[in-house]
């Protein structure tokens, strides 16, 4: 295993948090209630904090003179390896909650395994992040149950969100070559081993919320290979604007 393998692995984990954090940050001031608005903003900040820890470590491993900001803001679209799920738009509150819960369950299971990494840096990031992600999962799960077992309209909206976003869940468990190399070295996680538990947890809560688990055979993928949806370009154009407009700017 080389440093390059490890750097690519770190990017693939951190990019999920970066892009989902960016999506959630778009909601600042637009939550359905003040408390929920603040909670989602804090979740975005948690994800950005985790991203910083990963990117700082990736910058240390690199042979180039990089900072975490360089990695976050100055890559091309194809260089981002986040899954397609996290870049999906904030269609309505039901979509936001379903997208969040689908990712949170995976994220929690991933970090639980990453706590056992032979790499001390990844182990420490996982241990620190796990407390935050446990809250994220509880928050999104509680809202999913509330919407599913709420009014007729909230039930219909959240069922539609589940049906539409389910096709992006399988990609969470795909392993590229860097993932396999780092996992085999004991530094990373074999994502495929999380799949059965993930779908059991998700399905149980969906049924609890009086909703139906989709029966879908075909899943969308491509993000982990850098092939993204049309939404990704819009995300990056906003996220990267300041760094590209004012190169090497300092606050």
User: In Å, how far are 43, 94, 104, 153 from 150, measured between CA atoms?
Assistant: 24, 12, 22, 8
- Asked whether residue 251 is assigned to any structural domain, the reply reads no
- Asked whether residue 250 is assigned to any structural domain, the reply reads no
Q: Map residue 150 onto helix, strand or coil.
A: coil
User: For residue 158, is pLDDT > 70?
Assistant: yes
Instruction: Give the C-alpha separation, 66 to 59, whole Å.
Output: 5
In this prediction, residue 30 carries a pLDDT of 82
- Asked whether residue 236 is assigned to any structural domain, the reply reads yes
- Asked whether residue 69 is assigned to any structural domain, the reply reads yes
- Asked whether residue 71 is assigned to any structural domain, the reply reads yes
| CATH code of 87's domain | 1.20.1260.10
* Sign of the C-alpha dihedral computed for residues 162, 106, 58 and 222 taken in this order: negative
In this prediction, residue 251 carries a pLDDT of 62
- Asked whether residue 67 is assigned to any structural domain, the reply reads yes
Instruction: State the total domains in the chain.
Output: 1
| 17-39 pLDDT tens trace | 999 999 999 998 888 888 888 99
User: For residue 151, is pLDDT > 90?
Assistant: yes
- Asked whether residue 145 is assigned to any structural domain, the reply reads yes
Boundaries of domain holding 166? 3-245
């Amino acid at each position: 295993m080389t440093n390059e393998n490890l750097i690519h692995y770190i990017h693939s984990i951190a990019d999920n948090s970066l892009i989902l954090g960016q999506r959630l940050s778009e909601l600042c001031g637009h939550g359905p209630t003040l408390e929920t608005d603040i909670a989602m903003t804090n979740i975005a900040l948690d994800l950005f904090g985790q991203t910083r820890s990963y990117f700082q470590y990736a910058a240390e491993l690199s042979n180039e003179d990089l900072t975490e900001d360089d990695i976050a803001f100055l890559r091309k679209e194809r260089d981002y390896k986040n899954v397609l799920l996290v870049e999906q738009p904030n269609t309505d509150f039901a979509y936001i909650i379903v997208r969040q819960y689908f990712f949170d369950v995976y994220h929690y299971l991933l970090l639980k395994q990453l706590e056992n990494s032979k790499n001390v840096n990844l182990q420490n990031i996982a241990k620190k992040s796990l407390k935050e992600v446990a809250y994220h999962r509880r928050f999104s799960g509680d809202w999913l149950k509330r919407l599913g077992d709420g009014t007729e309209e909230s039930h219909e909206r959240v069922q539609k969100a589940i049906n539409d976003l389910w096709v992006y869940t399988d990609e969470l468990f795909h392993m590229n070559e860097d993932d396999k190399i780092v996992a085999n070295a004991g530094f990373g996680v074999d994502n495929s081993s999380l799949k059965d538990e993930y779908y059991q947890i998700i399905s149980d809560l969906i049924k609890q919320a009086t909703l139906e688990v989709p029966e879908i055979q075909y899943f969308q993928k491509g993000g982990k290979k850098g092939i993204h949806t049309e939404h990704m370009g819009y995300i990056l154009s906003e996220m990267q604007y300041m760094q590209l407009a004012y190169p090497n700017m300092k606050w």
